Chain A
Amino acid sequence: MNSKPIYVFIPAYNEEKNIAEVISGLKQLKLNLKIYVVDDGSKDRTEKIARQAGAVVVRHRVNLGQWAAMRTAFAISLVEGASVMVSVDADGQHKPRDLPKLVNPILEGKADIVIGSRFLNNETPEMPKYRRVGVRFFNKLIEVATGKKLTDCTSGYKAYNMTLIRKILPNLTENQYGALEFIMEAIKQKARILEKPIMTKTNSVSKKGKIKYGYNLLRTIVKGFS
């Protein structure tokens, strides 16, 4: 693998129970990783535990939302001169061993974004039905709008080519549900988007309410088209 460090960002909000395990899992990869946690105004000990686990912590003083944390992550990566960045969810659902699968196509110059898809392997991830339906619905909307077929547009496990991020970061505005806005902006920039199958752990529980989840995803799509 490339000798340049890979910047791994974990946006986290009240994840004191999972964050240490996520960080130590990444460290076990024995890759040249720089691990950052963007603590999005947690009220628990997420920041302290993340620091103790060896991550660099960037802290939002108030809670803004997962994609506000992602935008901060992008900004820090650009400041640090990163060429590749990876985002990992803080709830422990993503397996570190999938990381090289996401990063390699970018290092080889074959992709600008690699999405870790929970639906590409034959196993069905344990996910509430409404969320599965929501993900399929939004995949379809993206396909209709852009012609790009995706299986898991909302996955939080992604690798990014920072040259692309530099172009689209100024256009990103969503704080909470920015995944779709991000994909739409990337497609506008003719980004090469790949999906790779990933396995997820089943112990994570989403904190997002059903109605709020659907409403915000739809709002993002409307913004993306307008």
Chain B
Amino acid sequence: MKGIQVIGILVAMYLILQTLIQYKKGNYGLKRMCFWLALWGLIGSLFAFPSLVGLTLPFFAMQDMVLTTLVVGLIVVFVLVYHTYQQIARVERKLTELVQNIAIHDYMKDATADPKGKDDEQ
């Protein structure tokens, strides 16, 4: 077994452990945990048994195992980055809505408590 394989397997095991911890803490649901376990499991398996990539070469119409791994890895990274971008945008939208609703709520509360104060200016 080559050094890079050992590192790859260790990293995959670490990420599997992290996924299980996040699930146990309640940060991940069952669906999300299964997704990440499958992904890290697949990556770990590919590091442990690189010849598995060879089985996929006809499907990808590629000849080089390393190149195939890199290309597929890049595609996965693109998908994950896009997914992360979507998630961040969604959280930002929700946060914005929340802050705005609190501001409007505070304003309405002040206006109800002191209707005169609201019309004091000018």
Contacts from A to B (Cβ < 8 Å) = 5, 27, 31-35, 38, 41, 54-56, 58-62, 64, 68, 71-72, 75-76, 79, 173, 175
Is the beta-carbon distance between A79 and B104 smaller than 8 angstroms? Answer: yes
Contacts from B to A (Cβ < 8 Å) = 92-93, 95-96, 99-100, 102-104, 106-108, 117-122
Kindly identify which residue among B92, B93, B104, B119 contacts A76, using a CB–CB cutoff of 8 Å.
B104
Is the beta-carbon distance between B100 and A72 smaller than 8 angstroms? Answer: yes
Q: Is the interface of A mostly helix, strand, loop or mixed?
A: mixed
Given known pairs A64-B96, A68-B96, A173-B93, the reply for A59 and B122 (CB within 8 Å) is no
**Distance A130 CA – B66 CA, assembled complex (angstroms):** 46
Q: Is the interface of B mostly helix, strand, loop or mixed?
A: helix
**Distance A62 CA – B99 CA, assembled complex (angstroms):** 7
The closest CB in chain A to the CB of B99 belongs to A60
- Which residues does chain B contribute within 8 Å of A56, judged by CB atoms? 107, 117-118, 121
A24 CB to closest chain B CB (Å) equals: 11
B89 CB to closest chain A CB (Å) equals: 9
Kindly identify which residue among A34, A41, A59, A79 contacts B106, using a CB–CB cutoff of 8 Å.
A59
- Which residues does chain B contribute within 8 Å of A61, judged by CB atoms? 99, 102-103
- Which residues does chain A contribute within 8 Å of B119, judged by CB atoms? 34
**Distance A61 CA – B96 CA, assembled complex (angstroms):** 10
**Distance A56 CA – B108 CA, assembled complex (angstroms):** 11
- Which residues does chain B contribute within 8 Å of A31, judged by CB atoms? 122
- Which residues does chain B contribute within 8 Å of A59, judged by CB atoms? 103, 106
Is the beta-carbon distance between A35 and B100 smaller than 8 angstroms? Answer: no
Is the beta-carbon distance between B99 and A64 smaller than 8 angstroms? Answer: yes
B67 CB to closest chain A CB (Å) equals: 33
